[in-house]
Chains A and B, each alone.
Chain A
Amino acid sequence: MNPESPEERNGTPVGRRVFLGTLGLGALGVLTAPALQRGLESLAGKDPTGLSGLLPNGGGFRYYSVAASVPDKNATDYRLTIGGLVDHPRAYTLADLRALPQTRLVRDVQCVTGWRVPGTPFEGVRLADLLDAAGVRPTARALRFTCFDGTYTESLTLAQARRPDVLVALRMQDKDIGHDHGGPVRLYVAPMYFYKSAKWLSGITVTDRVRPGYWENLGYDVDAWVGRSNGRTDEPTG
């Protein structure tokens, strides 16, 4: 019904070739991604402008929040409560936490979605010290962490929580932890994927069994060792 010029009907099928070529390039991209990614990361490491931070996998931290909005807490209204199966439940202010012995660790941060930030200093109170001060009862097996974003939760077994590389962190990258990074206080679990390092930490409850946290209820591993969980093979950070 629509008379077309012959070349419009019988020309070369370039469209199909472009379409299939794009699909092929996509598949090739997936196959060569590991090599390409390594190359780009080494290039980005030498970038003095910092512009590469805007590109995919450009390095640095990414902001993830599962809540609609997160209140600001500061030295006057921040509290960290420790309760559950302990002999001495209590609430710490920011000043209380700062007055305790501080530990500084410098490790890589590995996110379960793939990004990794090398050599990031974290500083704070060993979780083991807080547990000792609280007096953990013999029936206790695990910890549940709650956050003042009102939504996020995390968990650790008692043995994991007592590791020397698990901190209630007050400083990151040698600065007080800002709000976007989970400040003023966040958990830092050095040997595990970064979702274990709950931001905006406000409560620690000692429990008789592990109660899976927010992402763990959505399918992520509870024992989230870097390189040995979530089907990933990253270099360990512990």
Chain B
Amino acid sequence: MNPPADAPARPSVRLPRFSRAERWVHRTTAALMGVCVLTAAVLYIPQLAVLVGRRELVVRVHECAGLALPVPVLVGLAFRAFRADLRLLNRFGPHDRLWLWAAARRDRRHGARPAGKFNAGQKIYAAWIAGAALVMLGTGLAMWFTHLAPLVWRTAATFVHDWLALAIAVVLAGHIGMALGDPEARRGLRTGTVSGEWAKREHPLWRP
């Protein structure tokens, strides 16, 4: 069934990229993150706070969405395809260094940016956003259950929570912006399959 390892993926074929479970992990995580970001904006931006009011309710929704944020990924660990992709996201090969060099030099030629199933940028994004989400969860809990943490920590946790929220907003905007610029990548997450041409162009080292 599989083409030989060195053969390019045949064009006009739909290649399986994400399993149903993986797509649902992404969907639910994105929805929860969206709720976190929107409620955070209402809590933080004065004009929106004036518009919405209901501060206690907004705080409650934000807390619930934040607590639930890691759940889809934890459920995803039960699925073989998801674990396999986590392994691919974790491991960096020599081609990933080339990709990063090309990105740093703003070299947009596909030949300069070799990538397996995930390119180096996607790998770093995945690892960073996972760590950042856990830091947000930890500092968020310290702000929420103030009697559990030593009291001086509350202000410190608020400080980190606020600034990291700003960083996440910027990075997330980049993530969504790149997805908006690549319909076939979005199709991959919507339907689970991508075109052979796209795979060959964007992920030449990927062997589905």
A residues touching B (Cβ–Cβ < 8 Å)? 2-5, 7-23, 25-27, 29-31, 33-34, 36-37, 55-57, 62-70, 113-114, 180, 218, 231-233
Contacts and interface: CB of A to CB of B under 8 A. Distances in A.
Interface of B: 2, 5, 46, 49-50, 53-56, 84, 87-96, 116-117, 123-124, 126-128, 130-132, 134-135, 138-139, 142, 146-147, 151-160, 162-166, 205, 207-208
Contact of A4 (B116, B123, B134): B116
A4 B131 contact: no
Contact of B166 (A36, A56, A65, A232): A56
6 contacts: A10-B91, A14-B92, A23-B134, A26-B160, A31-B156, A67-B54
B124 A4 contact: no
B128 A36 contact: no
Contact of B135 (A8, A14, A26, A114): A26
Contacts, number: 156
A65 B55 contact: yes
A8 B88 contact: yes
A30 B156 contact: yes
B154 A14 contact: no
Nearest to A9: B91
A64 B46 CA distance: 8
A30 B153 contact: yes
Contacts of A113: 158
Contact of A33 (B55, B132, B160, B166): B160
B18 to A, nearest CB: 13
A26 B139 contact: yes
A9 B163 contact: no
A56 B153 CA distance: 17
A216 B91 CA distance: 51
B155 A15 contact: no
A225 B207 CA distance: 66
B132 A180 contact: no
Given A26-B139, A26-B160, A8 B153 contact: no
Nearest to B130: A19
Contact of A19 (B46, B131, B207): B131
A196 B146 CA distance: 20
A18 B207 contact: no
Contact of A231 (B55, B116, B151, B156): B151
A18 B91 CA distance: 11
Contact of A14 (B50, B95, B123): B123
Contacts of B49: 62-65
Contact of B159 (A2, A37, A231): A37
A3 B5 contact: yes
Nearest to B131: A22
A232 B158 CA distance: 13
Given A14-B90, A22-B132, A30-B139, 6 more contacts: A7-B93, A13-B90, A16-B90, A33-B157, A56-B165, A62-B49
B106 to A, nearest CB: 22
B91 A8 contact: yes
B157 A30 contact: yes
B73 to A, nearest CB: 12
B95 A7 contact: yes
A31 to B, nearest CB: 7
Contacts of B93: 5, 7-8, 11
Given A9-B87, A11-B91, A3 B207 contact: yes
B97 to A, nearest CB: 10
A8 B55 CA distance: 47
Contacts of A25: 135
B205 A5 contact: yes
B92 A11 contact: yes
Nearest 6 A/B pairs, CB to CB: A22-B131, A7-B93, A26-B135, A56-B162, A33-B156, A15-B90
